């Protein structure tokens, strides 16, 4: 594989570049960044070799990864028809249905819809690190529409950088991701806002321990990125929030009624989640 072109050289795209560079998968790695400052940082950190415009990147790259916010990915996908006739594409977006629906028929076979299930609360080229993808899951969606050669290329890329491949329908992915990924971010934002409205800064700094810091960590995530995800996956995220709200109301009712035995059973039922993780 000669050249990897990455659109969006932040945490996800930059980490992909570093992992691919470490494995020597490409002769060169180029990027399209959102600003001159990002371009300069990505080059200085040796994340990419060169920064190009979107048009120049797709004109000369053999493998193209879209690692921008999901609404930007949807807007850019139709423009990929101007890429090389044998170029292979993948996106790294956290939602899949809207992205798949945006792919023009002319390139559908060469476009693999992917979601690496990893990340941190940080963004930008400086947040990238080569081991981000190690031993993590990448979900490939609706692969029955892919050309075999394109699918093998993208599978090889993810496998070599250490990822485990799972395949599913895009609609199923979005429903599962709403609970496993998107809901935790909504909860973290809600927790941070509720505390900020009740407590002064001194109390937060003095009393906040590991539990609060762990649960509020995701509230540091980029709002620009996550508002796009919430837009694209609105129905599934709404359903997840409603399910979570039902559980909170159940706890509130038991607490109000001093039903401590039932409240303890409710707590114990949640322990089953960690038994699942332990079994893995």
Arithmetic mean of pLDDT over the chain: 94
pTM of the model: 0.89
Domain identity same for 222 and 249 = yes
Residues 270, 231, 167, CA angle at the centre, nearest 5°? 60
Domain identity same for 69 and 150 = yes
How confident is the model at residue 207, as a pLDDT?
80
Domain identity same for 131 and 206 = no
Is 242 a residue whose pLDDT tops 90? yes
pLDDT tens readout for residues 193-240:
998 888 787 788 778 777 888 888 999 998 989 999 999 999 999 999
pLDDT tens readout for residues 160-183:
999 999 999 999 999 999 999 999
Domain identity same for 197 and 149 = no
Domain identity same for 128 and 31 = yes
Is 78 a residue whose pLDDT tops 90? yes
How confident is the model at residue 214, as a pLDDT?
87
Domain identity same for 30 and 162 = yes
| Strands of 88-91's sheet in order across | 50-51, 28-32, 3-7, 63-66, 88-91, 111-116, 137-141, 164-168
pLDDT tens readout for residues 54-67:
999 999 999 999 99
Distance CA 85, CA 219 (A): 42
Domain identity same for 158 and 275 = no
Domain identity same for 25 and 145 = yes
What's the Cα-to-Cα distance from 153 to each of 4, 57, 156, 229, 258, rounded to whole Å? 12, 19, 5, 27, 59
pLDDT tens readout for residues 148-166:
999 999 999 999 999 999 9
- Domain end: 168, 199, 219, which one? 168
- Quick one: which H or E segment has residue 139? strand 137-141
- Count of domains observed in the chain: 2
Domain identity same for 223 and 134 = no
- What is the pairing mode between strands 50-51 and 88-91? unpaired
The pLDDT > 90 percentage for the chain reads 84
- Domain end: 168, 191, 211, which one? 168
- Domain end: 168, 195, 227, which one? 168
Is 22 a residue whose pLDDT tops 90? yes
Domain identity same for 131 and 230 = no
- pLDDT, average across residues 244-273: 96
Distance CA 72, CA 178 (A): 20
pLDDT band at 279 (very low <50, low <70, confident <90, very high): low
Q: Which domain holds residue 53?
A: 3-168
Q: Which residue has the higher pLDDT, 204 or 185?
A: 185
pLDDT band at 278 (very low <50, low <70, confident <90, very high): confident
How confident is the model at residue 280, as a pLDDT?
62
| CATH number (domain holding residue 38) | 3.40.50.720
- Quick one: which H or E segment has residue 168? strand 164-168
- pLDDT, average across residues 103-110: 98
| CATH number (domain holding residue 249) | 1.10.3660.10
Domain identity same for 156 and 58 = yes
pLDDT band at 14 (very low <50, low <70, confident <90, very high): very high
Domain identity same for 120 and 205 = no
Per the CB < 8 A criterion, the answer to whether 62 and 1 are in contact is: yes
């Amino acid at each position: 594989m000669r050249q990897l072109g990455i659109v969006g050289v932040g945490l996800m795209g930059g980490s992909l570049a570093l992992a691919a560079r470490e494995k020597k998968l490409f002769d060169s790695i180029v990027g399209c960044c959102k600003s001159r400052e990002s371009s300069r940082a990505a080059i200085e950190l040796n994340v990419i070799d060169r920064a190009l415009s979107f048009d120049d990147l797709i004109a000369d790259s053999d493998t193209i990864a879209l690692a921008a916010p999901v609404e930007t990915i949807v807007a850019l996908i139709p423009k990929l028809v101007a890429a090389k006739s044998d170029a292979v594409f993948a996106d790294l977006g956290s939602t899949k249905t809207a992205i798949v629906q945006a792919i023009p028929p002319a390139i559908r076979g060469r476009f693999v819809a992917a979601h690496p299930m990893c990340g941190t609360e940080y963004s930008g080229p400086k947040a990238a690190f080569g081991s981000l993808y190690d031993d993590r899951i990448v979900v490939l969606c609706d692969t029955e529409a892919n050309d075999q050669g394109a699918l093998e290329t993208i599978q090889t890329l993810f496998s070599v950088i250490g990822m485990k491949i799972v395949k599913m329908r895009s609609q199923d992915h979005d429903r599962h991701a709403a609970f496993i990924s998107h809901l935790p971010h909504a909860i973290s934002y809600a927790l941070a806002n509720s505390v900020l409205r009740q407590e002064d800064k001194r109390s937060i700094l003095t009393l906040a321990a590991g539990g609060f810091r762990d649960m509020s960590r995701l509230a540091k995530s980029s709002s620009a990125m996550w508002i796009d995800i919430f837009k694209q996956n609105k129905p599934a995220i709404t359903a997840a929030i409603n399910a979570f709200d039902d559980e909170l109301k159940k706890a509130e009712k038991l607490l109000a009624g001093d039903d401590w035995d039932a409240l303890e059973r409710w707590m114990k039922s949640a322990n089953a989640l960690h038994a699942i993780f332990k079994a893995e």
